[in-house]
Structure 1
Amino acid sequence: MEVIRALPDLLSAQTIDQVKDGIQRSVSAIGFDYYLIGLENPVAPEGARHCVQTNYPRDCVERYSRLQWVGRDPVVRHCRQSPVPMIWHRAHFPGEACELYEESAAHGIATGVATALRGARHNRAMMISVANGASFNTRLESWLTETMPTIQLLASYAYEAIARIEEVDAAADIGLTPREGECLHWAAVGKTSWEISRILSCSEATVNFHFRNIIHKLGVSNRRQAVARALSIGLIRP
């Protein structure tokens, strides 16, 4: 399938906008009009733990946010609880959630597929939902079921592409020097300050000086936390 062959191109994206453009092309080629990607970061400050990338109409997104539907959205609830993909339509929005469905359907977001995953390296939960305005029926259900493997594969590539860009941005913001990066690398493989000083041909005091700067720049309390933080954002590789 041409869509599947094109998915690795997402990994060469340099910006989030380029990732979004690639996702838009993919979902359109599959037969959907809209997509939504939600990323959760449990270690981010309160109020910044959810990142959403979508081509949903702006007024639809703003109203969803204003009414805080994320806590009552049956599709989001499913993706938080299970990695099994779901086909969603009107029947999944009972009670008060019916209002959310009717508003979404009025914008052409009536039926779709959603799936979730958690990356082994980045430890962040992600969901992706794709949709169009078609009315649900047996024939459409069959087609949606056929698209599930491609949507899951799209989710994996989108997750990795976004994570790579965020790693580069985070590393640039922190601004470690080359020597600080070397110290972190060797600490990550278990070297002591004395051993690192021998490897880098400098004094142990100099190594400890670099680590004080590293700890300050990464906003952590000690060397072990610095290594963990650097690994989590891709400053160093395991």
Structure 2
Amino acid sequence: MDNDLYSNDEKNRYVKSFLEKNLLKYGNIHYVYSVMNKSRMNSMSILSNFPDKLVDDYLDGGKQNIDPVILSALNRVTSFYWDENLKISSRWEIRSIFSPVKPYNITSGYAFVLHDHQNNLGILSLYIDNLLKKETLDLILNHKDDLQCLLLSTHEMLLDVYHNHKITKIVFTPRENEILYWCTTGKTHKEIAELLHISLGTVKFHTANIVRKMGVRNIRHAVSLATELKIVSPPAGKKIC
């Protein structure tokens, strides 16, 4: 198995933390976020709240090559419902691929799909407990747009953190650190400007520098990443509660 695709544990923990925080509103749901290179299908990374052994067995066995959900997603751009009767090429059923999750009372789920500019297939698959099938499926269908956006945001974040190889060596100026700290507390740019007695334009100038230094796309991602990696400190005389 090719294990080189997005295999940094620290960066994956950050992305996984972001994803799980945003899935909390959907209850105690099992998920798999997978990224696979479409030219090298053995090159795959998985983030999930299933046990590590289940994920490792799947990857070690190269199951993505016969997984009907993966193979269906390769030819789709829209989300879709799946169950153990899903077929490969409309003919072949491989129900054994779903056997490892049956102890969790799962035989179906819903998959969200994206294809990125690096020739990767990204999938966010949400697994449906048979005892809560109607409620869970209704919840997913009522939030399809939000969940598709969550996949896009998560995947964008994954690409961002892997693009920036020196994220833990960033040096902020005192003012950048101060502004980033207040951003992590949830304050808006306008509130920070009033708090520090500087102009709104100055705040935006420094946040743009923070985003550039961290190699991310916006201040929201910068705040999440800085918090996860613990690279922001409170201003002098300010204690973190």
The alignment's TM-score, normalised by the length of structure 2, stands at 0.54
Instruction: Give the number of equivalent residue pairs.
Output: 156
Give secondary structure in 2 for the equivalent of 1:35.
Answer: strand
Deviations 1:160-199 (A, max 9, x none): 1000000002x78xxxxxxxxxxxxxxxxxxxxxxxxxxx
Query: Which residue number in structure 2 is paired with residue 33 of structure 1?
Result: 29
Tell me the distance in 2 between the aligned counterparts of 1:41 and 1:90.
24
Residue 105 (structure 1) aligns with:
102
Task: Name the SS for the 1:91 alignment partner.
Answer: coil
In 2, are the aligned partners of 1:112 and 1:130 still within 8 Å (CA)? yes
Partner of 1:64: 58
Tell me the secondary structure at the aligned position of residue 45 of structure 2. Answer: strand
Deviation at 1:62, TM superposition (A): 2.5
Structure (1 or 2) with the greater helix fraction: 1
Determine helix, strand or coil for the equivalent of 1:159.
helix
| Match among 130, 137, 141 for residue 134 of structure 1 | 130
Aligned to 1:188: none
C-alpha separation between the residues in 2 aligned to 1:48 and 1:15? 21
Q: Which residue of 1 aligns with 2:188?
A: none
Q: Contact 1:15/1:165 (CA < 8 Å) preserved in 2? A: yes
Deviation at 1:158, TM superposition (A): 0.3
- 2:68 pairs, out of 67, 74, 82, with 74
SS of equivalent residue, structure 1 residue 39: strand
Pairwise CA distance, 1:110: 3.4
Worse-matched range after superposition: 129-138 or 61-70: 129-138
| Aligned residue in 2 for 1:10 | none
Query: Would you say 1:51 and 2:45 are equivalent positions?
Result: yes
Q: Give the structure-1-normalised TM-score.
A: 0.55
Identity of aligned residues (%): 15
Q: Are the equivalent residues in 2 in contact too, given 1:87–1:144 (CA < 8 A)?
A: no
Residue 32 (structure 1) shift: 4.7
Equivalent runs, 1:1-238 vs 2, <5 Å: 15-41=11-37, 49-92=43-86, 97-120=94-117, 122-135=118-131, 140-169=136-165
**Rg larger in structure:** 1
The residue type paired with residue 56 of structure 1 is F
Q: Structure 2: how far apart are the matches of 1:80 and 1:72?
A: 12
Q: Tell me the secondary structure at the aligned position of residue 130 of structure 2.
A: coil
Equivalent in the alignment of 1:226: none
Q: For the aligned residues, what is the CA RMSD? A: 3.0
Q: Is the alpha carbon distance of 1:125 and 1:149 closer, same or farther for their aligned partners in structure 2, counting shifts above 3 Å?
A: same
Q: CA deviation at 1:109?
A: 4.1
CA drift of 1:72 comes to 1.3
Gaps of 5+ in 2: 1-9, 168-214, 216-241
SS where residue 81 of structure 1 aligns? coil
Equivalent pair of 2:41/2:64 in contact (CA under 8 Å): no
Task: Give me the whole-angstrom Cα distance separating, in 2, the residues matched to 1:36 and 1:141.
Answer: 16
Do the aligned partners of 1:113 and 1:148 also contact (CA within 8 Å) in 2?
no
5+ residue gaps, structure 1, are: 1-13, 173-233
